[in-house]
């Protein structure tokens, strides 16, 4: 059984292309070493592994591979639109920040009692107000998740630019700019403005998959 702080580099960190390559093509020692390096780089830069390493450092009895699996599951739920976990995190953080605010406020009051240790009281109070501000901001973000703002869609209208119509005074035969007639051809001048063309560029998205392979120690 692997140590709880040893990360297994297995199918969780292989792409679909790598999976098919191992299944269909023979792998030389050099190719396998290159593949192992790619899998290692993918693993140690993934959000789930970096977060799991921090949690495992704080909670040393937790298995890092179990942490990675749990975090990958939670990430997949968020990608699927399930925001219950982020909401719970924000609510818990708001409570923790509120508790910190109250604790620091009590320390500030204790130091300020009878006019003693006012400098220490000022420092504690400043920290308390910072904790309060973070608690308020956390609750604001939570409210945005619970009650997302409506998205406004505006229909684009075709509006002519630089178009002006001058109406002549009564009794005068003054011509307007858009009614100017070519005396030679007796036709209206054509609009020579260049039409606008909409364009878009699609960016490809790489797809990740899984395959069981080897275990590498993450000392």
Q: pLDDT for 31-80, tens place per residue? A: 888 888 999 999 999 999 999 999 999 998 899 999 999 999 999 999 99
* pTM of the complete model: 0.60
How distant is the alpha carbon of residue 194 from its chain centre? 39
140-181, pLDDT tens digit by residue? 999 999 998 887 766 665 555 565 656 555 555 555 554 544
Decide: 4 and 62 in contact? Cβ < 8 Å: yes
Helix (H) or strand (E) holding 187: strand 187-188
- Say if residue 153 is exposed, middle or buried (CB neighbours under 10 Å; 0-12, 13-18, 19+): exposed
Which has the closest alpha carbon to 219: 64, 66, 37? 64
CA atoms of 55 and 53, how far apart (whole Å)? 6
Task: Give the pLDDT of residue 212.
Answer: 36
Which has the closest alpha carbon to 209: 38, 5, 16? 16
Q: What's 10's DSSP letter?
A: S
């Amino acid at each position: 059984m692997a140590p709880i702080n040893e990360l297994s580099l297995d199918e969780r960190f292989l792409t679909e292309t790598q999976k098919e390559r191992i299944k269909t093509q023979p792998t030389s020692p050099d190719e396998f070493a290159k593949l192992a390096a790619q899998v290692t780089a993918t693993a140690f830069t993934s959000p789930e592994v970096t977060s799991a390493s921090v949690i495992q450092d704080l909670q040393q009895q937790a298995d890092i591979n179990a942490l990675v699996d749990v975090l990958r599951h939670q990430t997949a739920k968020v990608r699927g639109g399930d925001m219950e976990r982020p909401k719970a995190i924000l609510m818990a953080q708001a409570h923790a920040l509120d508790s910190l605010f109250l604790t620091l406020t009590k320390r500030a009051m204790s130091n300020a009692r009878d006019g003693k240790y006012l400098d220490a009281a000022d420092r504690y109070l400043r920290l308390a107000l910072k904790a309060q501000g973070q608690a308020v901001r956390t609750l604001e973000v939570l409210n945005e998740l619970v009650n997302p703002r409506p998205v406004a869609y505006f229909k684009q209208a075709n509006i002519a630019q630089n178009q002006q119509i001058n109406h002549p005074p009564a009794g005068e035969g003054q011509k307007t700019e858009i009614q100017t007639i070519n005396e030679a051809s007796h036709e209206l001048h054509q609009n020579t403005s260049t039409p606008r063309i909409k364009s878009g560029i699609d960016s490809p998205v790489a797809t990740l998959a899984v395959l069981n392979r080897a275990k590498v120690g993450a000392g």
